[in-house]
Amino acid sequence: MAATAEEETVRAAGCVLWRYAAGPGGEVEVALVHRPRYDDWSHPKGKLHPGEEPEDAALREVLEETGMICVLGAPLPTARYLVRGRPKEVRYWTGEAVGGRFSPNDEVDRLLWLPPGQARTQLTHAQDLPLLEAALAELVP
């Protein structure tokens, strides 16, 4: 029996993780993670566990990859693309970092907190830029 499109689709979730910079009038900073397996800079994200809700997966993945506890904010556009010929769908939210501490791990070896302009140029994949822009539209008046 052939698999349906939904069964074939890899489902994932993540956040455009942000915080206010320390100091007076702290501006928004965005977290980007470096994944050594792919040698890329991206937003924290990962695959859903069976039966897991996307919101729960986004919170879990942010914690696993960045060590940060976050509060989900506005939903962002869903990213859809192919990975090794399979469709992948990643649901995103803004996520305000409210605590935690980064420790390098097998999946993510570096975390950068960057102002928006630097985050735009640091992102490796073009599909991540519209997510950043959508998040900034929600966060920066």
User: What are the pLDDT digits (tens) for 59-71?
Assistant: 999 999 999 999 9
Tell me the CATH class for 8-111+128-139: alpha beta
pLDDT at 125: 93
Residue whose pair of structure tokens reads 């965005």 in the numeric block: 30
Measured distance CA(132)–CA(79) in Å, rounded = 12
pLDDT band per the 50, 70, 90 thresholds, residue 1: very low
Q: Is the pLDDT of residue 25 over 90?
A: no
Residue 85, helix vs strand vs coil: coil
Mean pLDDT to the nearest integer, 9-32: 93
State the chain's mean pLDDT as an integer: 93
Q: Which long-range contacts (CB under 8 A, 24 or more apart) does 47-51 make?
A: 47/10, 47/11, 47/12, 48/11, 48/12, 48/13
Smallest CA-to-CA distance from 56 within 84, 95, 89 is with 95
Q: Which range (50-54, 75-79, 94-98, 125-129) has the least confidence?
A: 125-129
User: What are the pLDDT digits (tens) for 90-141?
Assistant: 999 999 999 999 999 999 999 999 999 999 999 999 989 999 999 999 997 6
Measured distance CA(132)–CA(93) in Å, rounded = 10
pLDDT at 23: 78
**Helix ranges restricted to H, the chain:** 5-8, 54-66, 116-122, 129-139
Smallest CA-to-CA distance from 76 within 130, 114, 5 is with 130
